[in-house]
Amino acid sequence: MTPTATSTGTTRQVAVTRTRSRRAVGLLPVVLLLALVMVASVAVGARTISPGDVFRALIHSDGSDNAVVVRDLRVPRTLMGLTVGAALGLAGALMQALTRNALADPGLLGISAGATAAVVSGVGLLGRHSLMLSVWFAFLGAAAAASVVYVLGSREPGGASPVRVVLAGAAVTAVLNAYISARVLLDPQTLERYRHWSVGSLAGSTMETVVGIWPFLIAGVVLALALGGPLNALALGDDTGRTLGSRPGRTRALGMLAVTLLCGSATAAVGPIAFVGLAVPHVVRVITGPDHRWLLPYCMLVSPILLLGCDVLGRLIARPMELEVGIVTAFVGAPVFIFLVRRRKIVQL
């Protein structure tokens, strides 16, 4: 080996080491910012509670109004925002990787629509809106929609491709949205229950619901993080991925399963929330680059920051009332979406 080649290899290794160190160090301020937003979520609302009172309420419940607000209302709400935010961020990053579409989000493959349609059907058939029951309905609906999309996108020779899967997802989403509209318009009782849930809100979250969706979310998180390497190979194209030992069909199937677990349970718990899964992966790529082994963990931390931050903002804007977090994320996310469309170089994967 010539001295020049050795020098080039050493320089490349140093650059890789520095990049990894920068990504690892970058996790610290992200974690600190997430902790700060979580404290704000517990302390800020119609009643502002000082950090000292929050701490005392957390370690000892004396039955005071502050303790009741913190322990029974805001802690479950904050944990729900943390959980759902992580799920939506991971689902969005997975969707963009699986479809190689930089403007993809969990709703692209009909998964959100499938979960919503199942919840609406459950409310209409059972005449009540149990959050835990909705989790199961939403998961089954998301799984059914994802399965139909994958089957439709795999019918042609060569198996599933990003373009066919996206087209199938758009068609399934259109059909499901039509069903949802017909269902709620024909049944006033379902409409009354659905219109509150459909906005997307963390208000009213309980520890029972948070704990109830954790098994689905933990399974989805573990599966998503395990796909970091295969998704890197998939980004090079199916043929190149196969030469590197990757199985594109298996990666897409497992990725869709992870998105179903994450998006289905999150949608059931708080309703559909837009733009979190779309915007966060683009922000994170500025720090991590396209390496999914780092992109996915970062998305899991940054997304709750955005979701909880929007939730706190919604409480401050309309104080002493509040704006649902789904409305605030739409106002924040819409300009980001327009920016991404106009700056195509930024959104290329």
Yes or no: say if 335 and 324 are a contact pair by the CB < 8 Å rule: no
3-state percent breakdown (helix, strand, coil) of the chain, nearest 5: 80, 0, 20
Residue 16: band (very low, low, confident or very high) from pLDDT cuts 50, 70, 90: low
- pLDDT reading at 195 higher than 50: yes
DSSP string across 59-79: H---S-HHHHIIIIIIHHHHH
Interval 79-95: pLDDT, tens: 999 999 999 999 999 98
pLDDT above 50: residue 240? yes
Residue extents of the structural domains in the chain: 25-347
pLDDT tens digits, 247-295: 878 888 899 889 888 988 888 788 888 888 888 998 898 888 889 999 9
Distance set, CA 293 to CA 20, 284, 323, 329 (Å): 11, 12, 35, 27
The pTM for the full model equals: 0.85
Fold type of domain 25-347: ABC transporter involved in vitamin B12 uptake, BtuC (1.10.3470)
pLDDT digit string, tens, across residues 138-165: 888 888 888 888 788 777 665 556 677 7
Q: Which pLDDT score is estimated for 160? A: 57
| 306-335 pLDDT per residue, tens | 999 999 999 988 777 888 898 899 888 777
What pLDDT, on the 0 to 100 scale, is given for residue 3? Answer: 54
Give the DSSP per-residue string, 213-255: HHHHHHHHHHHHHHTHHHHHHHHT-HHHHHHTT--HHHHHHHH
Q: What is the pLDDT of residue 32?
A: 95
Q: Binning pLDDT at 50, 70 and 90, where does residue 347 land?
A: very low
CA atoms within 13 A on the CB side of 337: 14
Average pLDDT over residues 177-183: 90
